[in-house]
Amino acid sequence: MTRVLIVGNGPSAHRLAETLTTRGFTGSVTILGEEPRGAYDRVALTTHLTEGRDLMYPEIPGVTTFVDTKVVSIEPAAKTVNGTIPYDVLVLATGSAPFVPPVPGRDLDGCHVYRTIDDLDAIRASAKTATAGVVVGGGLLGLEAADALRGLGLQTHIVEMSPWLMPRQVDEGGGAVLKRHVEALGLTVHTGSGVTRIEGDDRVTGLLTPDKGVIDAQVVVFSAGIRPRDELARGAGLQVGERGGIVVDDGMRTSDPSILAIGECALHNGQIYGLVAPCMTMAEVAADRIMGGSAAFTGADLSTKLKLLGVEVAQFGAMAGALDVTYLDPVAGVYKKLFVSDDASTLLGGICVGDAAPYATLRSFVGSELPAAPSDLLFSPVAVELPGDAPVCSCNNVTKNDVTAAIKEHNLTDVAGVKACTRAGTTCGSCVPLLKKILTESGVDTGTGLCEHFTHSRAELFTIVQVRGITTFTQLIDEHGTGRGCDICKPVVASILASLHNGHVLEGEQAALQDTNDHFLANLQKNGTYSIVPRIPGGEITPEKLIVIGEVARDFGLYTKITGGQRIDLFGARVEELPRIWQRLVDAGFESGHAYGKALRTVKSCVGSTWCRYGVQDSVTLAIDLELRYRGLRSPHKLKSAVSGCARECAEARSKDFGIIATEKGWNLYVGGNGGFTPRHADLLVQDVDTPTLIRTIDRFLMFYIRTADRLQRTSAWLENLEGGLDRLREIVMDDALGICADLDAQMAAHVATYADEWRATLDDPVKLRRFVSFVNAPGTPDPSITFTTERDQIKPEILQVTSR
Amino acid sequence: MTTMPLPQRVWEAVCPLSDLLPERGACALIGGEQVAVFRTHDGSLYAIGNRDPFSGAYILSRGIVGTRNGEPTVASPMHKQVFSLTSGVCLDDPGTVIPTFPIRVTMGMVEVSVK
Ligand SMILES: Cc1cc2nc3c(=O)[nH]c(=O)nc-3n(C[C@H](O)[C@H](O)[C@H](O)COP(=O)(O)OP(=O)(O)OC[C@H]3O[C@@H](n4cnc5c(N)ncnc54)[C@H](O)[C@@H]3O)c2cc1C
Ligand code: SF4
């Protein structure tokens, strides 16, 4: 009679014993488990806390189970465990153990893991004397644990090392959406953060992070991953994987033919399976083998769909592919991504956060041809045509038929018209994408598209470029557009690429996208000459530098004028003169002023508290710091700023995209101001903040604007069109209502770190310099069409003949 | 009977093909005439007059190259009117036409003929 001895009494062990029994195994089956109870459903563990559910599996008749019995050794030669208990076939089903990072204080009272019923009982006991808890680890189990802490009435934090939550299941975009959902439930998420130490004497009092300070908490739950429990196997000399796990073949056999391993402790084909379904399959294969069969485990699909903290998350197939298609709706909190083969025909996998509806269908298409264009599967809010009586706007009880009828009757052409006629979309706004779709179905072109080459808005293109990591115009237009672009979309894409990657604007293919101003790093004037504006941060300049500008202007015969932004503009330079002029300016320590770019222009300043009798803060230093921080930042339109040293506002900060006015206590930040065509006073975003808070807020404001604004939309128009207006903007940049602040901060940090002066880089590169000629076939020849007269002792362009209009 | 000599095209070398950036123009001075030459994404070459008739400035070689309904174009960098590279017609104002010139590559050199 064969004696089967199973070590461990988790779900895998239970399934093995059950399968053996139901298949009529004639030998004996004995289970040794270290937990003080029989096998139970670990997957449903959390319900033990939340609903007090009974998780115990039914007992299996004929199987002998020893609880509270830990196996400490195997003697393979003698075929015994713990020195005395004999076996013919030994099955290791020891599962895995939570990994607890080696941080000081991890053994304090109040520190827990989340694996067994006993763990949960202990957490519940600790929570009785606690008000706040921290979960270390933002993976699947961490989020589940966090939800349990929240259910126990604790103010709950999640600390996750990766830059986003659930890094194994979702990518960065999905993680951001997930984070926002989790935060909406009142949990606090700290991504990109490690743990320095657990604070406390006997009992935990808090958790110290490297850069976010101490999080006060009396309960800490470690959920930083699991490690296969292979210690017994190691002790017995069985083969184990480099990073743990008991090596098994397709028949679940370890390197000792009498010993099998199944479940989470087994390493099959280099893979550990942390989900219960593959563990069950392994148990069944092992049962078949024990009974003389030849079943084989050949790997398992790791697709998952779950609802964590009320958020649907699904991942299926591969987590990467040659091409991918992304749909992101940060407002509704939906993120979907499909990975497809390089010819865009085969579905490889996908990720859904916030709405896993496509999961069921799409999962079954993994590895086969796509049932429709990827964008139709993900980008459109409804994959199939809605029936006429389907409710479109439930707030106002409007059906699709109502909308179509209104479009026909009133010849409506846009969403605004539909809203006015039907009231659909006027309450919560969530049906607006549907309204657009119905308009399109009715043959109306809703055209948020940039131009004939892209049907996307600038903000949509920004998301596509960012999420997909696109670096060239050619890739973008090949995959998302038509034709070869134009003077509208090319500069937009150039600006997006520059905002995201900060490479030199004349590098490679980028050069062909630029407006002539960016192409020659100077401003085209009416007669074909260019003007030059060196950067003078904050308007502060030494006499030496002022003299250099004067000398350069004199030597090249340039018309010279002081600008409104406290710098000096030099006019009338021919293309071939630009490098020589800039060589002298760069040698004297000047940098490009980006007067030619859709970028930060200047940060004006008044003289401030250093000299002024009224000044309360040092406005000049702040202006210089801000100008140096944001110099070269490419944006949907130009950006202007100013800093005033007191409420008298001599720098006119409130007419700027972002203006700062000093107060007794710190700084007031105003945003969305404009001079120009439609003047607008900037609105007060935050009050009396210190300098680091001010800078962080401006960072986020600018990056959020850059992400979401339309082409050539100044901050003033952008702010007026922003849904929820100034209050919403404040929620987003101050309270991180969209969960994107970490991203915005990181993007600005990357900009600051990678800034380089464009003119210096151009002068250092003979290839880039080659284009600075009037004529390719006569590089030394000046353009004969450019001529000047004089006025008030300076040059003035001659009037050119134009076609009469 | 006398035979008229066949009119002979004169080709003028402009620059090596490799000097032309794809989708970016350059200007050549040929017998006092300013010619804007372009190389598009698919490798085709075009030559048009460099003068922008709307501003009078000689700048079309510095415009953005693209397509409109599949037709290769350049947009004036001054006020953005778009011209067809094949016909010289201003697509925003079809009454306005600028000159176009034959262009070819001989042994790696771009050549333009203005007469
Ligand atoms: C909170 C939570 C939620 C989960 N949710 C899901 C989910 O939604 N979906 C999903 O697919 N999976 C989920 N899982 C994972 C799933 O529970 C595991 O895949 C499954 O439990 C693995 O079963 P196992 O028998 O291999 O290992 P385990 O369940 O770890 O069981 C191993 C048993 O062996 C015992 N043991 C170990 N060493 C010895 C020894 N030397 N002597 C005696 N006994 C020993 C252990 O005490 C343990 O009881 C979840 C897990 C947790 C903790
Ligand atoms: S704003 Fe105030 S500090 Fe600045 S110059 Fe005017 S009065 Fe002086």
CATH value at residue A621? 3.30.413.10
Tell me if A663 CB under 6 Å of ligand 2: no
The position carrying tokens 């999905």 is: A174
How many structural domains does chain A have?
4
Confidence of residue A428 (pLDDT cuts 50, 70, 90): very low
Instruction: Give the best residue of B11, B23, B97, B101 to mutate against chain A (max A CB count within 10 A).
Output: B23
- Residue range A436-459, pLDDT digits in tens: 778 777 777 655 677 888 888 888
**DSSP structure string for A479-501:** HH--TT--TTHHHHHHHHHHHHH
Mutate to test the pocket of ligand 2, among A566, A607, A617, A648 (most ligand atoms within 8 A of CB): A648
From the list B28, B70, B96, the residue facing A803 with the nearest CB is: B96
Cβ of A484 within 8 Å of Cβ of B66? The answer is: yes
Same domain, A219 and A131: yes
- Residue A421 annotated as part of some ligand binding site: no
Same domain, A775 and A734: no
Same domain, A217 and A243: no
Same domain, A109 and A201: yes
Same domain, A114 and A182: yes
Over 70: is that where the pLDDT of A550 sits?
A: yes
Range of A12's domain? 3-96+228-290
ipTM: 0.90
Same domain, A542 and A562: yes
- Residue range B47-69, pLDDT digits in tens: 999 999 988 999 999 999 999 88
Asked whether the beta carbons of A165 and A158 are under 8 A apart, the reply is: yes
Nearest to A757 by CA among A546, A582, A529: A582
Ligand 1, closest atom to CA A306?
8
Same domain, A746 and A659: yes
Cβ of B29 within 8 Å of Cβ of A770? The answer is: no
Q: What is the pLDDT of residue A384?
A: 44
Ligand number nearest to the C-alpha of A648:
2
B12-112 is classed in which CATH architecture?
3-layer Sandwich (2.102)
Q: Is B84 on the interface with A (CB under 8 A)?
A: no
Same domain, A616 and A735: yes
- CATH of residue A163's domain is 3.50.50.60
Expressed in angstroms and rounded, the spacing between residue A281 Cα and the centre of ligand 1 is 15
- Residue range A181-194, pLDDT digits in tens: 888 888 999 998 88
Q: Is A523 on the interface with B (CB under 8 A)?
A: no
Q: Residue A343: inside a domain, yes or no?
A: no
Structure tokens at B25: 């123009």
* Mean pLDDT of all residues belonging to chain A: 87
- Counted across chains A and B, CB pairs separated by less than 8 A come out at 116
Same domain, A638 and A652: yes
Q: What is the pLDDT of residue A540?
A: 95
Same domain, A619 and A709: yes
Tell me if A612 CB under 6 Å of ligand 2: yes
- Domain residue spans in chain B? 12-112
Q: Residue A802: inside a domain, yes or no?
A: yes
Q: What is the pLDDT of residue A648?
A: 92
Lowest mean pLDDT among A296-310, A330-344, A362-376: A362-376
Expressed in angstroms and rounded, the spacing between residue A520 Cα and the centre of ligand 1 is 64
Mutate to test the pocket of ligand 2, among A646, A654, A655, A663 (most ligand atoms within 8 A of CB): A646
Asked whether the beta carbons of A649 and A661 are under 8 A apart, the reply is: yes
- Residue range A195-237, pLDDT digits in tens: 999 999 999 999 999 888 899 999 999 998 899 999 999 999 9
Long-range Cβ contacts of B46-49 (<8 Å, 24+ apart): B46/B72, B46/B85, B46/B86, B46/B100, B46/B103, B47/B100, B47/B101, B47/B102, B47/B103, B47/B112, B48/B74, B48/B83, B48/B85, B48/B88, B48/B98, B48/B99, B48/B100, B48/B101, B49/B88, B49/B98, B49/B99, B49/B100, B49/B101
Lowest mean pLDDT among A69-78, A107-116, A388-397: A388-397
Expressed in angstroms and rounded, the spacing between residue A599 Cα and the centre of ligand 2 is 27
- Rg of chain A's alpha carbons, rounded to an integer? 33
Distance CA A755, CA A758 (A): 9
Lowest mean pLDDT among A34-43, A335-344, B19-28: A335-344
Mutate to test the pocket of ligand 1, among A43, A53, A119, A306 (most ligand atoms within 8 A of CB): A43
Expressed in angstroms and rounded, the spacing between residue A263 Cα and the centre of ligand 1 is 8
Contact list, B68 vs chain A (CB under 8 Å): 452, 483, 486
pTM value is 0.53
- Residue A612 annotated as part of some ligand binding site: yes
Write the CB contacts of A125 (distance below 8 Å, at least 6 apart in sequence). none
Ligand 1, closest atom to CA A72?
41
Q: How many residues does chain A have?
A: 805
Contact list, A489 vs chain B (CB under 8 Å): 66
- The conformation of residue B17, written as its DSSP 8-state character, comes to G
Ligand 1, closest atom to CA A96?
30
More confident residue, A619 or B32: A619
Over 50: is that where the pLDDT of A381 sits?
A: no
Cβ of B64 within 8 Å of Cβ of A490? The answer is: yes
- Residue range A744-801, pLDDT digits in tens: 999 899 999 988 899 999 999 888 888 888 898 888 888 888 999 999 999 999 887 7
Same domain, A72 and A177: no
Question: A12-26, A50-64, A735-749: which has the highest mean pLDDT?
Answer: A12-26
Q: What is the pLDDT of residue A518?
A: 86
Over 70: is that where the pLDDT of A390 sits?
A: no
Q: Residue A321: inside a domain, yes or no?
A: no
Same domain, A712 and A610: yes
